[in-house]
């Protein structure tokens, strides 16, 4: 499973995902991988990530890029096919497989847009749902958010568009220092996630993709992030 925070602003987006890899074996056993896993995947227009069973997520992305010509409208179909294949391999009835969902971003004229690909009942088809501006989406396995409820509320109250900051560095510093404590605290009560995380920022014409070990005890700065940036 994956712990994801996704923020849709008016002119930009940011997405974070933890780095713990959990694999559902054919026997039904849940296996932990000690290596760092990058769960945010780049594509031509932004990123794709997901929560649930890792094989379902990664195959969905492969189908999207190789078979669906990176057509965002076909992502729901890619997820459906990937889930069906995984059920043929290990059988039906696994929560992680049935509840796998995707999150993707793409740019547009005035900024960047986030979409959820999910279904609300097993009998329903997957839908491509745009996330509304100034909204936060949190996906997690452990429903207990007592440790981070105040942090999430403050994050929501403090949402600011990219345009409100003097430069990119101040924008990034603002958000990483509000999000890092959430990962530190929740990882103490959820064994299926890590305190380290990857983070992706996207505006209408550029992106920053970085990693935070999140072991610090002081305020973070832009220079503390291992980054990859560019134009989309």
Strands of 135-139's sheet in order across: 135-139, 4-8, 13-18, 197-202, 207-212, 226-230
Q: What is the pTM of this model?
A: 0.91
List of E strands, 44-196: 46-51, 101-108, 111-118, 127-130, 135-139
The residue to which tokens 């945010």 are assigned: 40
CB 102 within 8 A of CB 80: no
Q: Which residues of the chain have pLDDT under 70?
A: 1, 22-35, 222-232
pLDDT for res 184: 96
- The string of pLDDT tens digits covering residues 141-165 is 888 899 999 999 999 999 999 999 9
Domains of the chain: 4-225 (3.60.20.10)
Q: Which residues, 6+ apart, have CB-to-CB distance to 30 below 8 Å?
A: 22, 23, 24
CB 194 within 8 A of CB 37: no
């Amino acid at each position: 499973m994956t712990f994801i925070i996704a923020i849709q602003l008016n002119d930009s987006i940011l997405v974070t995902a933890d780095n713990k890899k959990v694999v559902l074996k054919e026997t039904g056993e849940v296996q932990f991988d000690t290596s760092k896993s990058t769960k945010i995947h780049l594509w031509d227009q932004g990123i794709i990530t997901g929560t649930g069973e890792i094989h379902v997520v990664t195959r969905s992305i492969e189908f999207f890029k190789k078979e669906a010509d990176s057509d965002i409208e076909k992502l729901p179909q890619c997820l459906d096919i990937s889930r069906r294949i995984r059920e043929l391999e290990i059988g039906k009835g696994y929560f992680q497989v049935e509840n796998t969902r995707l999150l993707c971003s793409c740019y547009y004229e005035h900024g960047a847009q986030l979409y959820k690909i999910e279904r609300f009942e097993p009998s329903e088809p997957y839908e491509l749902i745009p996330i509304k501006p100034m909204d936060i989406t949190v996906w997690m396995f452990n429903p207990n958010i007592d440790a981070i409820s105040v942090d999430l509320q403050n994050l929501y109250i403090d949402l600011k568009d990219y345009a409100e900051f003097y430069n990119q560095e101040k924008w990034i510093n603002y958000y990483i220092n509000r999000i890092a404590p959430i990962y530190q605290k929740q990882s103490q009560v959820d064994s299926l996630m890590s305190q380290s995380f990857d983070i992706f920022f996207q505006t209408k014409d550029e992106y920053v993709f970085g990693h935070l070990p999140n072991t610090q005890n002081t305020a973070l700065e832009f220079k503390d992030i291992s980054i990859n940036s560019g134009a989309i």
